């Protein structure tokens, strides 16, 4: 070829399936296995997929494609956040006014802001649901393949969830209105309750004694540079691990049913390791199933579904954003405390525990902020990270919904989820002025000077 750098346009040489003519580009509608494989190797984005995947791992009712949904939401947040970067000004004097401009002056600004905000809230929900599905299918367990380290993908996942929460929390402050200012005040005050070093930790978080310009610039840089890069890099590693682990855990169930097959050494091929060690191909045990009737081509089967999930997610958020207006309250005012002052909804279960564990016994007060805001979430995250090593169920329980061998732990996990959901509901809907409980249909009393 005259221009070697354009060689990706040329199909590789080799026998063609009858009636198949070379095409300059890869196709979503391959007419042979060969064309399907070519689509993977000649497209940068598709490189992350293997050429063939098991039919079982594509089933909607196995994964509900929640991981792909999370990735689609992340993509949408990057796409909608880009234009907002040109319009938002990260200064305490101008942040509120710039958001007001986006809301009322910029063409489609209000819709764009809603896409970003609705997408961010939904990403927290979808990533959490993905974690629940992975737990209930025991998908952090290794099955029959060699060299699997699914427990590490679970650990990466826990960090992805934490970073998703942080992304949302840092974005919360940016409008610099009362809602933002006091939600972040409540959130960061919890850090101040750590014994001995609390005030210093809070100071490090907000860049001073009070929430002000240094806080805004810290949260802004974390929100637009540090955390998106961290999530992007961890996501790439997450996907690489799925491949290294032989695909989703559903594959292992299939593989067990089909018994591992030994691939005989090839007498014609020779392998070298960086040209140092020479030898013929070793006998390998397939990591995944080798029966072809259980496999499908990644192009089009996997790619079509991934595209469908991505487009459906984008369509859903775009439609929702036309109906849901993003809130913008009065400009931030450190002198006027809203009553009640609430953390963002995904931290309200913690704020609820903080309230419930602040107990007075005579002259002694239990430090609820430390118990509920630091010790409990710290223990929970540590337990989550260590769980794959604590779960002693057999490997037959990997990739199976509600496996009998994991019945008890699934039940405890679901009870824990119900506990968190109930507290979130109480904090969001039932807490009123002075943090008193009100039924959803009860009217709140008028508080003088309440916003």
Contacting residues toward ligand HEM, per CB under 6 A: 63, 65-68, 70-71, 74, 127, 130-131, 134, 137, 139-140, 150, 153-154, 157-158, 160-161, 164, 231, 235, 238, 242, 248-249, 399
- The nearest distance, CB 241 to ligand HEM, in angstroms, is 8
Instruction: Tell me the helices (H) and strands (E) count for the chain, helix number first.
Output: 17, 8
**Residue 266 main-chain phi, psi, to 5 deg:** -85, 130
Instruction: Say which residues have a Cβ less than 8 Å from residue 35's Cβ, sequence separation at least 6.
Output: 17, 20, 23, 26, 27
Using an 8 Å Cβ cutoff, are 184 and 211 in contact?
yes
Q: Going by C-beta distance under 8 Å and a sequence separation of 6 or more, which residues neighbour residue 37?
A: 51, 297
Between 226 and 426, name the residue whose CB sits nearer to ligand HEM: 226
Smallest gap from residue 167 Cβ to ligand HEM (A): 9
For ligand HEM, which is the closer residue by CB, 61 or 269?
A: 61
Minimum Å distance from CB 368 to ligand HEM? Answer: 28
Instruction: Determine the 3-state secondary structure of 360 from DSSP.
Output: strand
Q: How far is the CB of 8 from ligand HEM (least distance, A)?
A: 26
By beta carbon distance, the residue nearest ligand HEM is: 157
Residue 72 C-beta: closest distance to ligand HEM, Å: 9
Cβ nearer to ligand HEM, comparing 151 with 329: 151
Q: How many CB atoms lie within 10 A of CB 250?
A: 23
Nearer to ligand HEM, 127 or 350 (CB): 127
Q: How far is CA 115 from the centre of its chain?
A: 17
Is the CB of 31 or the CB of 133 nearer to ligand HEM? Answer: 133
Min dist CB 393 to ligand HEM, Å, is: 15
Strand pairing class (295-297; 52-54): antiparallel
Minimum Å gap between C-beta 154 and ligand HEM is 5
Helices 407-425 & 109-136, crossing angle to 10 degrees? 150
Indicate the residue among 112 and 127 with the shorter CB distance to ligand HEM: 127
Between CA 328 and CA 86 the distance in angstroms is: 19
Q: Across-strand partners of 21?
A: none
Cβ contact 246:287 at 8 Å: yes
d(Cα 245, Cα 148) in Å, to the nearest integer? 5
Q: Closest CB to ligand HEM among 70 and 351?
A: 70
User: Angle of helix 303-323 relative to helix 109-136, nearest 10 degrees?
Assistant: 130
């Amino acid at each position: 070829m005259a221009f070697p750098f354009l060689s990706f346009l040329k199909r590789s040489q080799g026998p063609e399936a009858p009636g198949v003519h070379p095409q300059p580009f890869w196709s979503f509608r391959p007419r042979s296995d060969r064309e399907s494989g070519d689509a993977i190797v000649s497209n940068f984005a598709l490189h992350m997929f293997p050429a063939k995947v098991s039919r079982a791992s594509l089933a909607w009712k196995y994964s509900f494609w929640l991981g792909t949904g999370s990735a689609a939401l992340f993509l949408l947040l990057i796409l909608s956040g880009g234009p907002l970067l040109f319009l938002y000004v990260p200064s305490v004097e101008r942040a509120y006014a710039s958001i007001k401009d986006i809301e009322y002056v910029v063409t489609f600004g209000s819709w764009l802001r809603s896409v970003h905000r609705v997408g961010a809230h939904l990403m927290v929900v979808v990533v959490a649901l993905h974690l629940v599905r992975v737990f209930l299918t025991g998908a952090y367990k290794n099955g029959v393949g060699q060299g699997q380290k699914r427990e590490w993908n679970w650990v990466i996942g826990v960090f992805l969830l934490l970073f998703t929460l942080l992304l949302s929390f840092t974005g919360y402050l940016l409008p610099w209105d009362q809602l933002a200012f006091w939600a972040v005040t409540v959130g960061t005050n919890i850090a101040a309750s750590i014994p001995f070093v609390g005030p210093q930790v809070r100071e490090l978080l907000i860049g001073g004694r009070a929430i002000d310009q240094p806080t805004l610039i810290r949260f802004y840089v974390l929100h637009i540079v540090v955390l998106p890069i961290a999530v992007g890099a961890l996501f790439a590693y997450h996907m690489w691990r799925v491949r290294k682990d032989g695909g989703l855990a559903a594959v292992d169930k299939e593989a067990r049913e089909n018994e591992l097959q030994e691939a005989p050494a090839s007498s014609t091929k020779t392998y070298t390791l960086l040209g140092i060690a020479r030898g013929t191909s070793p006998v390998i045990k397939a990591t995944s199933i080798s029966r072809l009737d259980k496999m499908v081509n990644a192009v089009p089967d996997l790619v079509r579904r991934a595209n469908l999930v991505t487009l459906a997610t984008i369509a859903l958020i775009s439609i929702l954003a036309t109906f849901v207006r993003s809130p913008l309250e009065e400009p931030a005012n450190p002198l006027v405390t809203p009553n009640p002052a609430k953390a963002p909804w995904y931290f309200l279960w913690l704020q609820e525990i903080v309230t419930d564990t602040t107990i007075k016994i005579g002259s002694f007060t239990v430090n609820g902020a430390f118990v509920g805001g630091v010790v409990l979430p710290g223990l929970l995250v540590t337990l989550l990270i260590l769980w794959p090593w604590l779960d002693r169920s057999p490997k037959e329980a990997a990739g199976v919904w509600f496996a009998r061998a994991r019945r008890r732990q699934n039940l405890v996990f679901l009870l824990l989820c119900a506990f968190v959901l109930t507290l979130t509901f109480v904090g969001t809907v039932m807490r009123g002025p002075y943090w008193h409980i009100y039924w959803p249909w009860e009217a709140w009393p008028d508080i003088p000077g309440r916003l």
